[in-house]
Structure 1
Amino acid sequence: MTHNHNNIQVLLICGGGGSEHDVSLRTADFIQRELAGAPDIQLTRVTMNENGQLLDSDGMLRELRSDKLLYSASGSAQPVDYVIPSIHGYPGETGDLQSQLEILGLPYYGCGSEASKICFNKITTKLWLTALGVDNTPYQFLCTNTAEETAKAKDALQQWGTVFVKASNQGSSVGCYKVSDEEALEQALNDAFRLSPYVLVEKCLKVRELEVAAYTYEGELVITAPGEVCAPADTFYSYEEKYAEGSRALTHVVAEGLSDGQLGWIYEAAKRAFIGLQLEDLSRIDFFLTDDGEIYLNEVNTFPGMTSISMFPKMLQNNGHDFCTYLTALIRAAV
């Protein structure tokens, strides 16, 4: 492979071997297509397997070392100037991969290791949001599967009628159960504690699901108008529903019928979260609007899906911004 020394050598890492492996490949496809039009960027794509090994398109092992070179099995190496960690869930969205890249001194796309870790853990996110003065869904936090702690969950169920039980550090709707009676609650708590050392019990609300794309464009923080995800009536928007090609969830790039006050609140809350959590480059910030007109910040996605049907790229484009221009500007600025 010839390297023009003026080119920026970008390493795209996707996969990860976890539950979101396949979606992460689709996001990488999207990024690869978008960057194809940038003449000064030379992209090398590798897929990470469940053991953290990097494989190229031929299935051959590649290794990124502290000299910032990507080695192949034959011993040849190529320089790496910038990394795009296109991995949803572990280890990309959890901050682990970012920590490794920081140790290697390599600039990369997206939020830092600390912000990623905070936002991936549903409980830490809520503690931070509360500290930043941003309203979030009412919840109870359980740190052990003992009678004393699970009593909090039973109280919450009695008080709220229906709750979501969530494993705290699983990605997109994985380890998330909707519960309306005590028997189901016990089962859900056991399942959630198997996946995670901490469990969140959250009030189930009748809501509209709104989301904004927040990103840095030419040095400025941009927050789009909220889009809306309308899950079909009667289904909980599960992981499969979210990513299935035949997903019945409808999305509207711009949510309808929001008042200026609601739009203003969402904008300010998203901005406060982006700055307060020290997010970088991109995020998708999700809100709940209840039937009573309450707005809660539900979650912060530090590496949102970017398939052709995903909200983040759609909202960015709808905002009059070109994805390739946006990403190449970040790459050039970092390098």
Structure 2
Amino acid sequence: MTKKNVLLICGGGSSEHDVSLISAGFIYDQLKDWEDINLYWVEICKDGSRKDKEGNLCELRKSGELVYPDKSIELHFAIPCIHGYPGETGDIQSVFEMMGLPYLGCGPEANILCFNKVSTKLWLDNLGIPNTPSCYVSSLEADQKEKALEFFEKNPDVYIKAASQGSSIGCYHCTDSKDLFNLLEEAFKYSSYVLIEKTIKGRELETSAYEFDGEIIVTAPGEIICPNEFYTYEEKYDGKSETTTTPKAINVPEEVVTLMKKYASTAFKALKIKHLSRVDFFLADDGQVYLNEINTFPGMTPISLFPLMMEHNGHSFKTWLKAIVSKESR
């Protein structure tokens, strides 16, 4: 049998570049000993160059070829393990579409819709899925500042979020109106739209939603237990983080689990997500469930919940990934 050539592309140069490399390392370890494939690690470096695992320069070209100065390798499948730009923004998927190269994860449009917190909320509203009360602004002009201030006066405890960022980048807690405009200005450094969300007091729960044997599977929620009030980038990825994660949250009422599974499945179908996602929720102290965000290529770090929840649900991540590569490679 001819081996399939599988591209594992990572990095990307965004604020989440280093996290992408950690996730890619996890995926690499799942596939490196699989005799049916040749696995090619390519990092999109921060300077824009492309390098393989040995540091050799290479490029992606034409109809899905990995090109070196002295050889060209036809690729059969791609795994875009890139958090943030250009992975979860739909850019790299558009390139693969033009190449005719099959890949893991959803298509360009679904990535675009889910990565932008504003467009995600518009879809959730249309689907009747509760999400955190919010407003968004598109500039720092007077009318937009007035809009933000009016929302803050009704909700004097908010999070200000760059609309198109992940891993808590460009996200700020605001409880004083004197800080509002300065924090908006900071958030605009990361995105052309900024979301202002009411702070929800409660628990932060996550579900894994993925396709398995032709069905959409949604796990029971896992939980992030953060010693600080806000789950920062450092808390997520610093080796000294005191944050813990558990693949199955305790003391969550069964009706809440059922509701979260329903909302996650509905969003997965309607937004045309493919293969995998992590769907995050707030369970407020008053019992209200809010869908917080949808991550179309969740983290795969040692404390990341997506693979842990899949395994806890009885499905091997390695077996699941191999099945997709085997079935969908060209």
1:272-311 to 2 correspondences below 5 Å: 272-311=266-305
- Tell me the distance in 2 between the aligned counterparts of 1:146 and 1:241: 34
Among 203, 209, 223, the residue aligned to 1:228: 223
- Tell me the distance in 1 between the aligned counterparts of 2:110 and 2:202: 27
- Tell me the distance in 1 between the aligned counterparts of 2:53 and 2:206: 34
Q: Contact 1:157 / 1:181 at 8 angstroms: preserved in 2?
A: no
- 1:26 aligns with 22
User: 2:329 matched to 1:330?
Assistant: no
1:82-231 to 2 correspondences below 5 Å: 82-231=77-226
- Tell me the distance in 1 between the aligned counterparts of 2:194 and 2:301: 30
Gaps of 5+ in 2: none
SS at 1:289's partner residue?
strand
CA offset digits 1:153-177 (Å, max 9, x no partner): 1122221120111111112211111
- Tell me the distance in 2 between the aligned counterparts of 1:188 and 1:182: 10
- Tell me the distance in 1 between the aligned counterparts of 2:14 and 2:300: 17
- Tell me the distance in 2 between the aligned counterparts of 1:21 and 1:167: 17
TM-fit CA distance, 1:51: 4.8
Q: Contact 2:14 / 2:85 at 8 angstroms: preserved in 1?
A: yes
- 2:52 aligns with 56
- 2:72 aligns with 77
- Tell me the distance in 1 between the aligned counterparts of 2:88 and 2:188: 21
Gaps of 5+ in 1: none
TM-fit CA distance, 1:68: 2.5
TM-fit CA distance, 1:304: 0.6
Identity %: 47
CA offset digits 1:61-100 (Å, max 9, x no partner): 21121132211022x1111000000110110111100001
- Tell me the distance in 2 between the aligned counterparts of 1:98 and 1:168: 20
- 1:259 aligns with 253
TM-fit CA distance, 1:186: 1.3
TM-score by length of 2: 0.97
Q: How many equivalent residue pairs?
A: 329
- Tell me the distance in 2 between the aligned counterparts of 1:188 and 1:308: 32
TM-score by length of 1: 0.95
Q: Contact 1:166 / 1:177 at 8 angstroms: preserved in 2?
A: yes
TM-fit CA distance, 1:60: 2.1
SS at 1:195's partner residue?
coil
